[in-house]
Structure 1
Amino acid sequence: MHNRFDYMGPNMSLSWFIPLVVLLVIALSIYMINKNNNANKTNRENRESALEILDRRYANGEINEEEYQKKKKTLKNQ
């Protein structure tokens, strides 16, 4: 007589595969979320503020003083 533990059908041989795949998907998801959060944090720290960009554009001569003052006033009022 066979009891329920003696028979290993065709599906039983791969029964470990589904939990392994689930764990791998969870681990990969956690890794990707951490990677994206670290990249976003770095970008936020290195990003120039709008006022710094305006100052740089004025210093490079891309905009005149009148335009600079107008945009600076707009930025400070926000």
Structure 2
Amino acid sequence: MRGMIGLALVLALAGCGRREALQPAQGASLPQTPAEARVQPTVDQLLTPTPTARPARSEEVLRKSQERQDDRFDLPPQG
């Protein structure tokens, strides 16, 4: 019985999602235009992460182990 109530609750919550474009709240405006931007970015442009924020994943597989080269700056702590 509990499982059916939980399932019904999850289905009800899943149907509550809104599928319309995001807009600033009524009476509010978009954030200030960035200093170096020529025009005000749109909502979609503001919500799209830059490549720096979400870098591409490297799928390169290490084929064989390699010994690390000496690092002259890798010194033990003083003390």
Give the TM-score of the pair, scaled to structure 2: 0.35
Give the TM-score of the pair, scaled to structure 1: 0.35
Larger Rg belongs to: 1
